[in-house]
Chain A
């Protein structure tokens, strides 16, 4: 039980002995080819099982199970809500909807508002207002509503109903029905198992998949009328337009995708994806990197980088043999020569665990971001993989 409290730092940190930590760290920081405890390559993910549209009562849902047994379910529900207009919006809206005047003032009616997306995360053993669920949901919501395409801030206003494939204005713009009405999205994230490792990547991937499968009923009304919708669920439109509908039109990379948050750790000079619990425990730095696919040129766009408190700094240091009172007389004096760790610049005796004091080199961080973003990189592969999950 006490382990669960620790989960707010970076994960439920297992108590590892200094010898284990040292062994893990040395294995993972071997130059060029780290040896992970489960033999994966640095960018390899554990196989996961995924399915979407599993909950009939939702607009979109997904379930993902990681190989370590953790599972999450996400349900997305949408609701029509009346847009509350502030007075200055009303005033400026007369000025026309193609102008920048709207975007300078509160242009919620045209470009959407971040508060239209609500996210709640439930993790077993945690209260709703514990730090971890709150932090996680804000971290995921932030990249979700922040993923605005570079296109004009308005335009989603009139295009929202009729299958706007470019999705100007990102998710927020897509939620606009017309000036007076909008969709409100409720994203409910449920972790089914104990958080064995930091649950962020699991929850993010599941949310991504659920949003991909989310459908909104087709709008029948036009313009500024009160909205009414087609009863036929068959003709409902995807919240994020699918490439499969328009396969002939262009390549899949043209479409906006929900963001994905990946957990990346660095150990020494090495960069490791999909870290297991033990790997997080020895990491120099833990980063949560959110990426999405941009409309233009199909490149990946970096949305946010968050550092997560690495648990390694709270661990116990090992006692070198030369200082161990139980070893007095057993070792030749001062045989251990401290060497400089190239990654952290601290002096260390090889084979002796020292808690990481935090701090990584800028080149390492840059490298992490580059590995995610580069063409054919990890980010792209993850997005492609999730795209491949059959909807329905």
Chain B
């Protein structure tokens, strides 16, 4: 079947109002706060005895007019009034007397030491401007990259002239945040052999509070059930996205003859999945006689290559599978890290086996069986959550 048409899922709408109506009264049980000042046009009157504290407010909406609350992040207060107004769309959170709004989607806020994947959007005379899904473009100075030639040397005007041969517009780089400026913009560096230009793989961007991107802006009905995904979201707390964790880069050994695959989870929500590149091996495959002392030099110069190695179809399939696993996780509102991604990969293999067993029509079985989103996504999510 080439096309699947699902009936619309009546998600969000009905349960959503119920949630938002009881936004804070559940959390605040010790005091009898009258939320009469809360303006919610065309909604039913508040009951005030609910338990759910996951109300969603939109920018401009008055969170409360009661002067006893203090305003926190994501809110502002008109100097002439006492009402607290939300500035972002998100959930209201209450910490003692402090009311803050935690955004549903936010841009990445750089911090020193973060591993990020970025895309070069602008080349200037001595630096690059890099999109890292932060509010401002990050900068990558020419002085913060490893210049080819192995030994650390001073940069010259020749390097400035051929700046585009290192990175040019559109290129993807993996880098580390070196410093964060006053205005929140970041400076990056790639002064390590593990950083540099990315190739031999695919890029995808996930949203969430970690990062931001187009790949999963709002997936309606992609994952069949609203209830299943919201349950998953609740378990992970703040929703999907990449979070800072112990390991952002690892090598995954894939099934089906796919070999080893490198996964880079940028803290900013940009993800790179590629064929595993064993530095020394890659170099020795292109050049026969390399002395061991020049090895490092070889590796460092190959980080500016934009030519892909030969990636066998099996590896490409497994890379596609991993890509989908990330998407499934994000759609389910599960945060993406090494554990969840590995689990969901294993789950997807298991789902494939299950489907393969009860496939009567061989023809349809083959057709599009590698597509994991849609019907299979729910099962994968279930299995992933079980493993936790």
Contacts and interface: CB of A to CB of B under 8 A. Distances in A.
Interface of A: 14-20, 22-24, 26-27, 30, 33, 35-41, 43-51, 63, 65, 67-69, 71, 193, 196, 273, 277, 315-316, 318-321, 324-327, 329-332, 335-336, 349-353, 378, 381-382, 385-386, 388-390
B301 A51 contact: no
Contacts of A378: 2-3
Contacts of B168: 316
A50 to B, nearest CB: 5
Contacts of A330: 283, 286-287, 297-298, 301-302
Given A43-B2, A330-B287, A385-B5, A37 B323 contact: yes
Given A15-B119, A326-B301, A352-B308, A65 B220 contact: yes
A196 B9 CA distance: 22
A19 B5 contact: no
Interface string B205-242: 00000000011111111100000000000000000000
Given A324-B305, A331-B286, A67 B372 contact: no
Interface in B1-44: 1-9
A318 B368 contact: no
Interface stretch (B64-72, B102-110, B176-184, B194-202): B194-202
B310 A39 contact: no
A19 B308 contact: yes
B240 to A, nearest CB: 14
Interface string B287-303: 11000000001100110
A38 B310 contact: no
B316 interface: yes
A325 B288 CA distance: 20
B202 A37 contact: yes
15 contacts: A15-B121, A15-B170, A19-B197, A19-B198, A20-B202, A38-B373, A39-B371, A44-B367, A44-B368, A65-B8, A71-B220, A277-B214, A321-B305, A351-B308, A353-B306
B386 interface: no
A47 B202 contact: no
B171 interface: yes
Contacts of B327: 38
Given A33-B313, A386-B5, 15 more contacts: A22-B307, A23-B308, A35-B313, A35-B316, A38-B324, A47-B222, A49-B5, A50-B6, A50-B8, A69-B216, A318-B306, A324-B307, A327-B305, A332-B287, A353-B306
A27 B274 CA distance: 13
A242 B308 CA distance: 53
Taking chain A's interface residues, is the majority helix, strand, or loop, or is none over half, making it mixed? loop
A40 B368 contact: yes
Contacts of B170: 15-18, 315-316
Nearest to B304: A326
B2 A382 contact: yes
Contacts, number: 212
B317 interface: yes
A201 B360 CA distance: 32
A71 B219 CA distance: 10
Contacts of A36: 320
Contacts of B375: 47
B113 to A, nearest CB: 25
B321 interface: yes
Nearest to A327: B301
Nearest to B290: A330
B311 interface: yes
* The 9 A-B residue pairs with the shortest CB-CB distance in the complex, in nearest-first order: A19-B199, A39-B370, A351-B308, A49-B221, A41-B368, A44-B368, A326-B304, A45-B3, A47-B4
Given A38-B373, A65-B8, A385-B5, A23 B202 contact: yes
Nearest to B166: A326
B304 A63 contact: no
Given A49-B221, A69-B217, A20 B371 contact: no
B304 A30 contact: no
A23 B5 contact: no
Nearest to B301: A330
Given A41-B371, A49-B220, A318 B3 contact: no
Contacts of B288: 332
Contacts of B339: none
Contacts of A329: 301
Interface centre among B170, B310, B311 (most CB of A within 10 A): B170
A196 B4 contact: no
B309 interface: yes
A35 to B, nearest CB: 5
Contacts of A352: 306-308
A316 B169 contact: yes
A65 B198 contact: no
Given A41-B367, A65-B221, A382 B198 contact: no
Contact of A24 (B1, B202, B219, B373): B202
A38 B320 contact: yes
Contacts of A20: 172, 201-203
Contacts of A63: 8
Contacts of A22: 307-308
B2 A48 contact: no
B167 to A, nearest CB: 9
A22 to B, nearest CB: 5
B96 interface: no
A389 B7 CA distance: 8
A388 B5 CA distance: 8
A331 B221 CA distance: 49
A351 B119 CA distance: 20
A353 B217 CA distance: 29
Contacts of A18: 170-171, 306
A319 B305 CA distance: 8
B2 A45 contact: yes
